Every structure is written in structure tokens, then in C-alpha cells.
């Protein structure tokens, strides 16, 4: 299946928005590791309705006027990864959770490392807010967009 993409400039650098015909499938970072999220063939399309909606909602998020996204999402991963990514969507704006808290929420408190690995493979950054997941000590750990960008996103949400 062919996917469409567009680029967007943001306070955390250039993002690559990717969608299929019916849903957003990825929000990728400027310095993205190409092995982190594997995608089918991509075609640049500036007028794709889902990409345009994602761009608009992300612009509102960065402007501080949007706290929740309303976009169709299509996660491609294992069943466990999808459970973790769905748990990310439940973390309220401006709040954080630890990997342990997410593992416990999923009913598998021993799966802390697996939650961390799934979080690191989250294909829809920011919208599925993996930046809201921190270490048990409260420290910022692991983030595909870099810890500086994680800090920017968390500060943006704390200011609202």
C-alpha cells in the first residue's frame, strides 16, 4: 500500500507526517532512525486531507490551543505494542506516567522493559504522546526525537 507524506516545520524541528488513505500512520522526527519505523513507499502529497488535518491540529497544539487530537490513527505493530500505544493515548495532557505505571495499567507489572521498547517504536510521535512517559525516578529517558525535544514538549504542556 502506498503512503502519502508531507513535511511540517515545528518548534521541535521538521516533522514528517505520513498517512494511508484513511488514517495517520506516522509522525517522524527530522533525524529519524530509518529502522525505527518501517514504512511502505511514500509519495509527497500536500493536499491529503488527513495530513492537512494533522498539520492543522499539530499547529494548534504547538500554539497552546489544542490539548487533544481528533484524528483517525492506524498503528502498525504487534498486539502488545498496540496496547502500549493505546495506553499512551490515555495519558492526560500535561501529565506523565512511568513505564512501570503503564505496565501495571496493562495488567503486566513485570513488562516494564517491554513497555519501554514498545514506547520507543511508537510511530505516531506527539499525537500518541510517548514524550509523556518518563523513568520511575522522574528523569527524562529515551525519546526518538531526542531528550531536548522531549523537554520542550513537556514544558509546552506544563505552561498551558
Known catalytic residues are 130
Three-state DSSP at 146 gives coil
H or E element: which one contains 57?
helix 49-63
Beta bridge mates, 26: 18
Three-state DSSP at 16 gives strand
Count other Cβ atoms within 10 Å, centred on residue 46. Answer: 11
CA distance 49 to 83: 27
Amino acid at each position: 500500500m502506498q503512503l502519502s507524506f508531507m513535511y511540517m516545520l515545528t518548534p521541535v524541528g521538521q516533522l514528517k507526517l505520513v498517512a494511508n488513505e484513511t488514517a495517520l500512520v506516522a509522525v517522524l522526527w527530522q533525524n529519524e532512525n530509518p529502522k525505527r519505523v518501517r514504512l511502505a513507499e511514500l509519495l509527497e502529497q500536500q493536499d491529503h486531507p488527513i495530513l492537512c488535518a494533522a498539520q492543522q491540529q499539530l499547529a494548534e497544539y504547538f500554539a497552546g490551543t489544542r490539548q487533544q487530537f481528533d484524528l483517525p490513527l492506524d498503528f502498525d505493530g504487534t498486539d502488545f505494542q498496540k496496547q502500549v500505544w493505546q495506553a499512551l493515548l490515555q495519558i492526560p495532557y500535561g501529565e506523565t506516567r512511568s513505564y512501570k505505571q503503564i505496565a501495571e495499567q496493562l495488567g503486566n507489572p513485570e513488562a516494564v522493559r517491554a513497555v519501554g521498547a514498545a514506547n520507543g517504536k511508537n510511530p505516531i510521535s506527539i499525537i500518541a504522546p510517548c514524550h509523556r512517559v518518563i523513568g520511575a525516578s522522574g528523569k527524562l529517558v529515551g525519546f526518538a526525537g531526542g531528550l531536548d525535544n522531549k523537554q520542550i514538549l513537556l514544558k509546552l504542556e506544563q505552561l498551558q
